[in-house]
């Protein structure tokens, strides 16, 4: 802590951060000084040179890689990085602190945030961007869930070209941070799950319209596996069987769904489902 109560991370030509006080730094030619307490630095910060390929993976578990090598972070740093990665915009420091340390005082939450920011930068990579009173994941970090969301939205909007319509390379059935049970994580888990299911159904419908029935069935089955009681996924799958001219497959799937729905919830299929198979059951 310096005379002005300031603590910074100094970034040198090697891209690594070192703690420095407001009275000086051991680095002779620092590229940037970044305050960890939210106050402005004594001079304008320059961008930190960082040529490493940084990959954050949140689907099916937390993993972080720098140039293909795994980087291990303590749980607190993982939570901060994941929280920022799941936001599409910069977040106020007070919001981040109070969300991540919800069971403590605001003062303690801010202290925890400062400590966690310092630990995050000990890897030698610039992971968190500071924008005044706001924080964001550094733009050079590639995030798998952001890419998967973009793919899903393109499918829903019909913007994916036919040649790119396939399940290979898509992560629509993946789980977001399984075994994480924070309230904010569980909300994001359900949001991603719903987006993935809708996108799988959209993919199946576009594939069947192109006559690619086998691939359409695969996409619909992935949606059914994600939520067996989801009628829209079941209707998509049954509709593909009907379109392909396989009434026995359609009826078999319908009976399986009807029985499962009754046993699990005591419900019957909707009129839309009944209408889909009405012609097949007529004698």
Q: Which of 90, 107, 139 is the last residue in one of the domains?
A: 139
pLDDT at 169: 66
Q: How confident is the model at residue 51 (pLDDT cuts 50, 70, 90)?
A: low
Q: Which residue has the higher pLDDT, 12 or 241?
A: 241
Asked if the model's pLDDT at residue 38 lies above 70, the reply is no
Same domain, 157 and 204: yes
Same domain, 172 and 277: yes
Same domain, 54 and 41: no
Q: How confident is the model at residue 17 (pLDDT cuts 50, 70, 90)?
A: very low
Same domain, 151 and 130: no
Tens-place pLDDT, residues 224-240: 999 999 999 999 999 99
Q: Indicate the average pLDDT of the chain.
A: 84
Same domain, 268 and 171: yes
Tens-place pLDDT, residues 73-87: 999 999 999 999 999
| Domain of residue 55, residue span | 50-139
Same domain, 206 and 124: no
Tens-place pLDDT, residues 204-228: 999 999 999 999 999 999 999 999 9
Same domain, 80 and 97: yes
Q: Which of 98, 113, 139 is the last residue in one of the domains?
A: 139
**pTM for the complete prediction?**
0.78
Same domain, 213 and 185: yes
Cα 31 to Cα 126: distance, rounded to the nearest angstrom? 12
Same domain, 32 and 60: no
pLDDT at 47: 35
pLDDT at 282: 55
Same domain, 178 and 267: yes
> What CATH number should be reported for the domain holding residue 79?
1.10.10.10
Tens-place pLDDT, residues 140-189: 999 999 999 999 999 999 988 888 888 876 788 899 999 999 999 999 99
pLDDT at 74: 94
> What CATH number should be reported for the domain holding residue 256?
1.25.40.10
Number of domains, the chain: 3
Same domain, 131 and 147: no
Same domain, 185 and 84: no
Tens-place pLDDT, residues 113-130: 999 999 998 878 889 999
Asked if the model's pLDDT at residue 45 lies above 90, the reply is no
Q: Which of 116, 139, 162 is the last residue in one of the domains?
A: 139
């Amino acid at each position: 802590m310096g005379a002005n109560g300031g603590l910074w991370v100094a970034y040198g030509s090697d891209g690594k951060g070192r703690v420095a006080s407001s009275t000086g730094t051991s680095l002779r030619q620092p590229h940037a000084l970044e305050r960890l307490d939210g106050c402005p630095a004594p001079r304008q910060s320059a961008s930190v040179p960082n040529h490493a390929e940084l990959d954050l993976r949140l689907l099916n578990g937390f993993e972080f890689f720098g140039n293909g090598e795994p980087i291990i972070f303590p749980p607190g740093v993982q939570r901060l990085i994941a929280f920022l990665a799941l936001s599409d915009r910069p977040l106020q420091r007070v919001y981040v602190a109070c969300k991540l340390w919800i069971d403590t005082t605001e003062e303690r939450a801010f202290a925890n945030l400062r400590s966690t920011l310092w630990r995050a930068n000990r890897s030698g990579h610039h992971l968190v961007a500071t924008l005044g009173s706001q924080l964001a994941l550094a733009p050079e970090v590639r995030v798998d869930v952001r890419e998967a969301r973009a793919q899903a939205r393109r499918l829903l909007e019909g913007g994916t070209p036919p040649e790119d319509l396939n399940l290979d390379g898509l992560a629509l059935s993946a789980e977001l941070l399984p075994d994480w049970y924070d309230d904010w994580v569980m909300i994001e888990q359900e949001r991603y799950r719903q987006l993935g299911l809708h996108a799988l159904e959209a993919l199946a419908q576009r594939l069947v319209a192109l006559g690619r029935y086998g691939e359409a069935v695969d996409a619909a089955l992935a949606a059914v596996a994600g939520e067996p009681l989801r009628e829209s996924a079941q209707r998509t799958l049954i509709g593909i069987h009907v379109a392909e001219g396989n009434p026995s497959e359609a009826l078999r799937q319908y009976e399986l769904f009807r029985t499962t729905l009754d046993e699990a919830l005591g419900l019957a299929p909707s009129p839309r489902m009944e209408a889909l198979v009405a012609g097949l059951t007529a004698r």
